[in-house]
Amino acid sequence: MQEIERKFLVTSEDFKNEAFKQARIVQGFLNSNPERIVRIRIHGEQGFITVKGKPNATGVSRFEWERQISLAEAEELLKLCEPGTIDKNRFEVRNGDHIFEIDEFLGENEGLIVAEIELKSEDEAFLKPTWLGREVTGEVKYYNSNLSKNPFQKWQ
Amino acid sequence: MQEIERKFLVTSEDFKNEAFKQARIVQGFLNSNPERIVRIRIHGEQGFITVKGKPNATGVSRFEWERQISLAEAEELLKLCEPGTIDKNRFEVRNGDHIFEIDEFLGENEGLIVAEIELKSEDEAFLKPTWLGREVTGEVKYYNSNLSKNPFQKWQ
């Protein structure tokens, strides 16, 4: 399946009052190469394996395949992942017909908050909440696969 | 799950008369690093995604996780794999309580025939058929993940 997503920095924590869902995410990478990402994720009590292809030229669209796996399987597979686990709180906020997924990073990426919105087409319009900052779609340094190796707190 | 396997070269094609099953295998790697292999395989009409951990010191035992996926999914995921697809005929031969899986490689690995036997423990005894040659368990150059990058016909 092709996934179309735009990503933004978040400038305040006001989104937390609007969230209808919150869960902890821990994830690692069996491959962090952006041409063939293989991600193992524990989201709350659920496990997932996800494969992502290379983003297109604008960085908005990429192939994504995902399967749910058991929590025990995800825990075993996380042990095999490259060094550098991503740990974050995931908030979900309704925004008109869309949902923002907002990641408040923890650990070595603490201080970084990023919002993603999934769209049906690259140019689909959506409402911009007051807490939405600069767009970072396609900026490799904000990829989770990069944050696992080059965490936010080591930038600059 | 921990998988215990020994691997041998095959010195004649006599095994073909003993095979009770034969199918074509096409496979690629989303990661060919032996510490965290991610393999996409089409075996006959079935698709699989497999993750393998680092082999132990003897090369006999390693963690393996596998899930069946649809043929369509496997075909999509194969497109994302690293360059170097493995193409082979897989024969299965009964050998006492065990089964030998014998791979006759095609394409750039043509000329190489390898037999694998899965065991319950590293020192479990098994019968040695007349066509069974030198043991190559743990020899990295015979890993499929290596054959995809450094094929048999280019050796020497």
pLDDT tens-digit readout, A32-89: 999 999 999 999 999 999 999 999 988 889 999 999 999 999 999 999 999 999 999 9
Q: Which of B35, B63, B67 sits opposite A67 (nearest CB)?
A: B67
DSSP for A72-94?
HHHHHHHHHSPS--EEEEEEEEE
User: Cβ–Cβ contacts within 10 Å for residue B23, how many?
Assistant: 14
What is the value of ipTM here, to two decimals?
A: 0.90
How many cross-chain Cβ pairs, A to B, lie less than 8 Å apart?
A: 49
Question: What amino acid is encoded at B12 in this protein?
Answer: S
Give the residue on B whose Cα is nearest the Cα of A62.
B80
* Binary contact (B38, A38; C-beta < 8 A): yes
Measure CB to CB from residue B30 to each of A51, A63, A67 and give the nearest one: A51
Contacts of B148 (CB under 8 A, 6+ apart): B28, B29, B32, B82, B84, B85, B86
Nearest residue of chain A to residue B69 (CA atoms): A67
Identify the H or E element spanning B79.
helix B71-80
Looking at the complex, does the CB of residue A152 fall below 8 Å from at least one CB of chain B? no
Sequence-ordered strand ranges (E) for A15-154: 19-31, 36-43, 46-53, 61-69, 86-95, 98-105, 113-118, 132-135
Query: pLDDT digit of tens for each residue in chain B (156 aa)?
Result: 889 999 999 999 999 999 999 999 999 999 999 999 999 999 999 999 999 999 998 888 999 999 999 999 999 999 999 999 999 999 999 999 999 999 999 999 999 999 999 999 989 999 999 999 999 999 999 999 999 999 999 998
Which domain CATH number covers B47?
A: 2.40.320.10
- Cα(A139)–Cα(A68) distance, rounded to whole angstroms? 28
In chain A, whose CA is at the least distance from the CA of B53? A80
- Digit-coded pLDDT (tens) for B13-38: 999 999 999 999 999 999 999 999 99
For residue B93 the two structure tokens come to 């031969």
Query: How does DSSP classify residue B90?
Result: E
3 state SS of A140: helix
pTM above threshold 0.95: no
Phi/psi at A14 (5° precision): -55, -30
- Considering only the beta carbons, identify the residue of B36, B65, B69 that sits closest to A81: B36
Helical residues (DSSP H) of A14-117, grouped into ranges: 15-18, 71-80
What total of structural domains would you count in chain B? 1
Q: Which domain holds residue A47?
A: 2-154
